[in-house]
Amino acid sequence: MGFLHEGHLSIIKQSKKKCDVTIVSIFVNPTQFGPSEDFNSYPRNTERDNELLETGGVDYLFLPSQEEIYPKNFQTFVNVEYVTKKLEGEVRPTHFRGVSTVVLILLNSVQPDFAFFGQKDAQQLAIVKQMVKDLNLDVEIISCTTVREPDGLALSSRNVYLSPSERKEALVLYQSLELAKKLISSGERSTNIILSEMNELFSKIQSTNVDYIKIVEADTFEIVDELTEGKDYFILVACKIGKTRLIDNILLTV
């Protein structure tokens, strides 16, 4: 959705390594924003984005208008059923319908062999993979590792909303994930205990308002009570710091 940062540029680098031609789409998608969300104020800077893409060696920028993506009398949407009902789907019930629809439109418009998505939006990535599988789309989805600031904060276009004090407090997302990782590496397998410790960390930061902290199986997004040796899990956090909603996660093998 534009307002590019180093996380986006790292995805572009992966495409450049793998592909002969790299195309970047920028489209702030209105259908994935709820009525009270920040569509109108979402950060945009197309001129700066274009300069970064040129410097990064991108071959084409696909910059469609809203009318091109959603022409008059548009009435077809894509619903990925099960995995969209939980976590982000509970907090933002129309969000993933907008995401899956616009991703399908963009994939059909560009017809890429590979499409690269950041792991920071882990549930979105799972939904896109499910849609591609279910609809038998001729594209391979490539997952790209989350890029972080030196202090651990995951890069996000929404970070610009944070005041200096909120920017420091936002580190609690990464710190909570590192705490969970430490507990698991020391042998803890009860997700209730892990989540309780994480919640305790958030409770010490006054500006936080937690939407959810969950541990799910990486392939199914099933919420689990007990961790099983040898399985992959996402630990997921969504939280408002002041008025700014941030998400983060880590993927680990127990």
Q: Which of 2, 4, 8, 119 is catalytic?
A: 8
229 pLDDT above the threshold of 90: yes
Which residues on adjacent β-strands are paired with residue 226?
190
* Distance from C-alpha of 254 to C-alpha of 243, rounded to nearest angstrom: 34
Find out whether 238 and 245 touch, Cβ atoms under 8 Å: yes
**Catalytic annotation present for 8:** yes
Domains of the chain: 6-144 (3.40.50.620), 157-253 (3.30.1300.10)
Q: What is the mean pLDDT of the chain?
A: 96
Q: Name every residue whose Cβ is closer than 8 Å to that of residue 9 and which is 6 or more positions away in sequence.
A: 52, 56
- CA angle, 208 then 211 then 217, to 5°: 125
* Distance from C-alpha of 51 to C-alpha of 48, rounded to nearest angstrom: 5
Tokens of 30: 């209105």
Give the pLDDT confidence of 71-116 residue by residue, as tens digits: 999 999 999 999 999 999 998 999 999 999 999 999 999 999 999 9
Contacts 24+ apart (CB under 8 A), 182-185: 184/227, 184/252, 184/254
pTM confidence score: 0.92
Give the pLDDT confidence of 13-41 residue by residue, as tens digits: 999 999 999 999 999 999 999 988 989 99
Q: Which of 65, 60, 64 is nearest to 23 (CA)?
A: 60
Give the pLDDT confidence of 189-210 residue by residue, as tens digits: 999 999 999 999 999 998 999 9
pLDDT at 189: 97
